[in-house]
């Protein structure tokens, strides 16, 4: 028999332009899909969730997170991007074993669900062997989240790599596409995370061609610091490789020409304001990208240093951009960037950016029931003014009471369902202790700055103020 839910009497923020928000509405859900929205819907044959005083909104979508780094939580509060690259990409990444990747990915995905994130782009760039890939994927599958498992092509600096060449990695991605990730309608789907384009261009080109042959979305770190050569966007444009399947991450140092190229190709940007502002990766591109007509979304990025929820990311993106614009304007007459635009960036626009816009990102009949119940009766949300604005300006992850992914309750009344959180915590703690022990402890982490130049073109090694302008 079909599973039917009636969510009753909530303030419904649809996030869909063609469907107005409902001050007191019902949602009827059948077999994972929203089948009706309105007032006074029949509860016949339904499990009923009475939601008076609550707010129902589309599930949030994080378009850039390195979920595997969850065991490193709290280590990077004061890291610059150089510290991060030295500690995580050079030193720690090679000592992560499959079980550590599983623990980190599972705990990180659960953290995301707990904070109302129903869909995640997991930029999984610690894939040192097929076993690592399987373990990370298993973490996503075990969590219950909907995800794009963006298989990382970037090699770690392992002394004896299990993948001796890029072609070996490509073959492993093809293995997943032919096997567990062959479906384009599964809860976890395949994506590709490219190596930073500071490897020989032939490799980058081969990575893009491999991803396109797999027919999956592609993401890449892009213009997060100044480089001496042509930008990633420029290189892709020269060979006609831009396209709507590309999700560019950061773009803080992208020029107007590159933003126009991304906009014209239908590509998208994921800005990660918290890591960008902290680490010296330039100024979040949100305002400039929106003005250039680029579909712009948000991600949490480095959960070793910053928070893993999108309410904070929305406010940081909004207020940092307002701060920049206001500083230039003197006493501003109006605020160009509106709060509700940020909500769209973490819902419908994010879904569109990864090819899922037809099935998730807003609440309307025909879409998956990917949704969040917020405690609109909490002190920090009462009295509820304009609901879309309140979500951006006042809500926090502690307001997330219940979460549904594809019509399945994964969190209810504040508790994650179907998972033993204390066991996951023990698992991720073990992973943290094991990887730190393998590198000789915290004090050894930042000793690798000198090796950074072997892997990345860090330009002048400092962020110019050039992008902090109109």
Q: Which residues bind Zn ion (CB under 5 A)?
A: 301
Cβ neighbours for 73, distance < 8 A, ≥ 6 positions apart: 303, 304, 432
Nearest residue to the partner Zn ion, using Cβ: 301
Of 114 and 301, nearer to Zn ion (C-beta) is 301
Of 134 and 301, the one with the shorter C-beta distance to Zn ion is: 301
Using CA atoms, how far apart are residues 166 and 440, in angstroms rounded to an integer?
A: 29
For residue 228, the tally of other CB atoms under 10 A from its CB is 8
- Is the Cβ of residue 297 or residue 362 nearer to Zn ion in the bound state? 297
Closer to Zn ion by Cβ: residue 301 or 321: 301
The candidate with the shortest Cα–Cα distance to 452, out of 83, 200, 76, is 83
* Cα distance between residue 463 and residue 117, in whole Å: 31
Q: C-beta of 249: minimal distance to Zn ion in Å?
A: 6
Closest CB to Zn ion among 301 and 401? 301
Q: Which residues neighbour 293 within 8 Å (Cβ) at sequence distance 6 or greater?
A: 263
Least CB distance to Zn ion at residue 66 (A): 6
Nearest approach, Cβ of residue 58 and Zn ion (Å): 24
Distance CA 361, CA 429 (A): 33
To the nearest whole angstrom, how small is the minimum distance from the Cβ of residue 292 to Zn ion? 21
Q: Which residues contact 18 (CB under 8 A, 6 or more apart)?
A: 364
* CA 207 – CA 228 distance, rounded (Å): 22
User: Looking at beta carbons only, is 274 or 401 nearer to Zn ion?
Assistant: 274
Class of residue 255 by CB neighbours under 10 A (exposed 0-12, middle 13-18, buried 19+) = middle
Output the smallest distance, CB 301 to Zn ion, in A: 5
Q: How far is the CB of 64 from Zn ion (least distance, A)?
A: 6
Q: Are 310 and 270 in contact (CB under 8 A)?
A: no
Cα gap 399→201, rounded to integer Å: 46
Provide the minimum distance between the beta carbon of 171 and Zn ion in the complex, in angstroms, as a whole number.
25
- Report the residue number, 54 or 221, with the smaller CB distance to Zn ion: 221
State the distance between the two ends of the chain, measured CA to CA, in whole angstroms: 58
Smallest gap from Cβ 62 to Zn ion, in A, equals 12
Taking the least distance from each CB to Zn ion, the nearer of 56 and 279 is 279
Instruction: Report the C-alpha dihedral over residues 322, 328, 331, 336, rounded to 10 degrees.
Output: -40
């Amino acid at each position: 028999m079909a599973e039917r839910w009636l969510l009753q009497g909530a303030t419904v923020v649809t996030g869909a332009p063609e469907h107005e928000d409902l001050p007191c509405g019902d949602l009827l859900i059948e077999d994972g899909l929203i089948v009706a929205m309105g007032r006074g819907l029949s509860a016949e044959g339904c499990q009923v969730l009475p939601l008076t005083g609550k707010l129902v909104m589309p599930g949030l979508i994080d378009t850039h997170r390195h979920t595997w780094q969850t065991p490193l939580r709290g280590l990077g509060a004061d890291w610059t991007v150089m510290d991060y690259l030295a500690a995580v990409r050079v030193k720690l990444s090679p000592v992560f074993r499959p079980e550590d990747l599983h623990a980190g990915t599972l705990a990180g995905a659960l953290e995301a669900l707990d904070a109302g994130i129903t869909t995640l782009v997991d930029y999984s760039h610690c894939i040192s062997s097929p076993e690592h890939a399987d373990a990370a994927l298993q973490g996503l599958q075990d969590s219950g989240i909907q995800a794009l498992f963006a298989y990382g092509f970037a090699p770690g600096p392992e002394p004896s790599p299990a993948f001796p060449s890029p072609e070996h990695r490509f073959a492993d991605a093809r293995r997943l596409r032919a096997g567990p990730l062959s479906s384009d309608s599964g809860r976890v789907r395949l994506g590709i995370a490219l190596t930073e384009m500071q490897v020989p261009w032939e490799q980058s080109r081969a990575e893009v061609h491999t991803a396109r042959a797999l027919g999956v979305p592609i993401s890449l770190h892009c213009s997060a610091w100044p480089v001496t050569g042509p930008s990633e966007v420029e290189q892709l444009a020269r060979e006609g490789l831009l396209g709507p399947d590309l999700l560019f991450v950061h773009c803080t140092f992208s020029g107007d020409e590159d933003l126009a190229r991304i906009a014209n190709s239908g590509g998208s940007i994921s800005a990660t304001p918290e890591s960008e502002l902290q680490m010296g990766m330039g100024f979040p591109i949100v305002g400039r990208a929106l003005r250039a007509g680029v579909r712009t979304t948000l991600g949490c990025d480095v959960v070793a240093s910053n928070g893993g929820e999108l309410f904070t990311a929305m406010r940081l993106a909004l207020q940092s951009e307002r701060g920049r614009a206001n500083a230039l304007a003197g006493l501003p007459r109006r605020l160009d960037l509106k709060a509700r635009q940020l909500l769209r960036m973490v819902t419908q626009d994010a879904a569109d950016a990864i090819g899922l816009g037809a099935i998730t990102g807003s609440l309307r009949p025909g879409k998956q029931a990917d949704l969040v119940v917020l405690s609109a009766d909490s002190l920090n949300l009462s009295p509820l003014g304009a609901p879309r604005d309140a979500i951006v300006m006042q809500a926090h992850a502690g307001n997330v009471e219940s979460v549904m992914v594809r019509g399945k309750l994964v969190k209810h009344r504040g508790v994650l369902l179907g998972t033993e959180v204390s066991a996951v915590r023990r698992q991720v703690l073990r992973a943290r202790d094991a990887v730190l022990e393998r590198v000789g402890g915290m004090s050894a982490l930042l000793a690798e700055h000198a090796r950074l130049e072997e892997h990345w073109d860090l330009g002048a090694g400092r962020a110019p103020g050039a992008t902090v302008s109109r």
